[in-house]
C-alpha cells in the first residue's frame, strides 16, 4: 500500500488522518470539492484532485491510480442522498480497482435503523461499502474528545468553569481523540488482510460528565463543573453561536445532534461506552486517556473584544 486518497482531508477529522498517513510514509492525495481547500491547512503540500460525491465519474477519476481510500463523510440529513453517496463511492472504488477502503463513521452506529436520518444514512453507506467487492474496514468512534475544545464548549469551560454538554448525568461516554481515530484508520488500512464491518473505538475509560469535569479541573488548574443540558437547549445554543438565532432548523446539524443525544440519553445502557481493549489489541493502538488529552490542550481564558 503506497498511495491513499482521503475524502474529508481539509476538515478536523481529516487533518490528523493526513498527518498519520504521511508519518507512515504513504503518499496522500486529497479528494476535494473546493479547489485550494488544503492551502489553508497544516498540510498545504498535499496534492488535490476534484471529487464530487454525487458524480460517479468524478470519483472514478479521483480514485484512479490510488491504492486505497480513507474517508470520513459529512453528515447528510437526507437519507436518500447519504445512500447515493455510499453507492457512488462504492461503484467508483470498484471501477478504479482500489485495494482497500477505510471508512470512519464519525459516530456510534447501531445494529438497526433508529429513524434518525443522519444515523440511518451511515448504515446505508456501510452497506454500500460492504457490497462493493472492495476489501474494507469500518472504524466506529464513540464521541470525540475534540468536541470539548470547539466554540460551543471551550469558552464556557475557560471563562466560567462550566462544562456544558447534552449528556444526562448518568450517561457514560468512551471519549476518543481524533489522533487516535486516525491511528486506528491507518492501522486498519495497512492490515491488508483485515476486513471488518465495524470496529468500535473509544478511550480507555467511560466517563460521566462529572468525571470529565474533574479531569478538566486538573488540566485547567481551576474548578470546572458539569452542566447537563437538554439536547434541545444544546442545539439552540449551537445554532445561536453560528447563525445568531436559537431557532433550530429541521434537518440542520444542530437538529441532528439533538436527536442523537436524545436517543443516547434515553437508553438503559449507554451505547457510547465500550471496552477499548479489543480494538486496541487488534490494531495495535494505545488509546489516549482523557486526562492525558486534556493536559495537551490550551485552557487559557478567551479574551472578549472590548
- Asked whether residue 124 falls in the same domain as residue 59, the answer is yes
| Residue 184 counted as domain residue | no
Residue 36 covered by a domain = yes
Residue-level pLDDT, tens digit, the chain, 306 residues: 899 999 999 999 999 999 999 999 999 999 999 999 999 999 999 999 999 999 999 999 999 999 999 999 999 999 999 999 999 999 999 999 999 999 999 999 999 999 999 999 999 999 999 999 999 999 999 999 999 999 889 999 999 999 999 999 999 999 999 999 999 999 999 998 999 889 999 999 999 999 999 999 999 999 999 999 999 999 999 889 888 999 988 878 888 889 999 999 999 999 999 999 999 999 999 999 999 999 999 999 977 544
Distance CA 17, CA 21 (A): 6
Is 138 in contact with 129 (CB distance < 8 Å)? yes
Task: Examine the domain organization and report whether 157 and 268 are in the same domain.
Answer: yes
Q: Which domain holds residue 44?
A: 3-134
Same domain? For 103 and 163 the reply is no
| Statement to judge: residues 52 and 157 lie in one domain | no
Burial letters for 16-35: b for 16+ Cβ neighbours within 10 Å, e otherwise? bbbebbbeeebebbbbbeee
62 part of a folded domain: yes
Q: How many domains does the chain have?
A: 2
What CATH number is given to the structural domain containing 215? 3.90.25.10
d(CA 185, CA 177): 13
The answer to whether residue 177 is domain-embedded is: no
Q: What one-character-per-residue DSSP string does 203-242 give?
A: -SS-B-HHHHHHHHHHHHTS--EEEE--HHHHHHHHHHHH
Compute how many other C-beta atoms are within 10 angstroms of the C-beta atom of residue 96: 18
Q: Are residues 129 and 7 in the same domain?
A: yes
Sign of CA dihedral 134, 37, 85, 201: positive
Note whether 203 and 144 are within 8 A (CB): no
Reduce the DSSP state of residue 161 to 3 states and report it: coil
Model pTM? 0.95
Residue 163 shares a structural domain with residue 117:
no
Determine, yes or no, domain membership for 239.
Answer: yes
Separation CA 40–CA 36 (nearest Å)? 8
Amino acid at each position: 500500500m503506497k498511495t491513499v486518497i482521503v475524502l474529508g482531508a481539509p476538515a478536523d477529522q481529516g487533518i490528523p488522518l493526513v498527518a498519520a498517513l504521511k508519518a507512515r510514509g504513504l503518499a496522500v492525495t486529497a479528494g476535494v470539492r473546493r479547489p485550494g481547500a488544503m492551502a489553508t491547512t497544516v498540510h498545504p503540500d498535499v496534492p488535490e484532485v476534484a471529487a464530487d460525491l454525487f458524480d460517479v465519474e468524478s470519483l472514478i477519476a479521483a480514485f484512479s491510480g490510488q491504492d486505497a481510500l480513507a474517508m470520513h463523510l459529512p453528515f447528510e440529513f437526507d437519507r436518500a442522498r447519504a445512500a447515493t453517496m455510499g453507492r457512488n463511492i462504492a461503484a467508483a472504488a470498484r471501477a478504479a480497482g482500489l485495494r482497500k477502503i477505510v471508512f470512519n463513521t464519525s459516530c456510534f452506529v447501531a445494529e438497526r435503523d433508529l429513524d434518525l436520518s443522519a444515523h440511518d444514512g451511515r448504515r446505508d453507506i456501510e452497506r454500500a461499502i460492504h457490497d462493493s467487492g472492495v476489501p474494507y474496514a469500518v472504524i466506529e468512534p464513540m464521541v470525540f474528545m475534540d468536541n470539548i475544545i470547539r466554540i460551543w464548549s471551550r469558552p464556557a469551560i475557560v471563562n466560567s468553569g462550566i462544562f456544558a454538554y447534552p449528556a444526562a448525568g448518568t450517561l457514560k461516554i468512551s471519549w476518543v481523540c481524533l489522533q487516535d481515530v486516525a491511528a486506528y484508520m491507518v492501522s486498519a488500512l495497512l492490515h491488508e488482510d483485515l476486513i471488518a464491518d465495524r470496529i468500535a473505538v473509544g478511550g480507555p475509560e467511560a466517563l460521566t460528565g462529572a468525571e470529565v469535569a474533574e479531569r478538566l479541573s486538573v488540566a485547567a488548574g481551576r474548578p470546572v463543573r458539569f452542566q447537563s443540558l437538554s439536547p434541545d437547549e444544546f442545539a439552540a445554543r449551537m445554532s445561536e453561536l453560528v447563525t445568531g438565532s436559537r431557532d433550530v432548523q429541521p434537518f440542520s446539524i444542530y437538529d441532528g445532534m439533538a436527536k442523537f443525544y436524545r436517543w443516547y440519553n434515553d437508553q438503559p445502557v449507554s451505547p457510547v461506552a465500550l471496552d477499548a481493549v479489543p480494538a486496541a489489541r487488534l490494531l495495535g493502538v494505545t488509546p489516549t486517556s482523557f486526562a492525558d488529552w486534556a493536559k495537551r490542550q490550551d485552557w487559557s481564558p478567551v479574551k472578549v473584544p472590548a
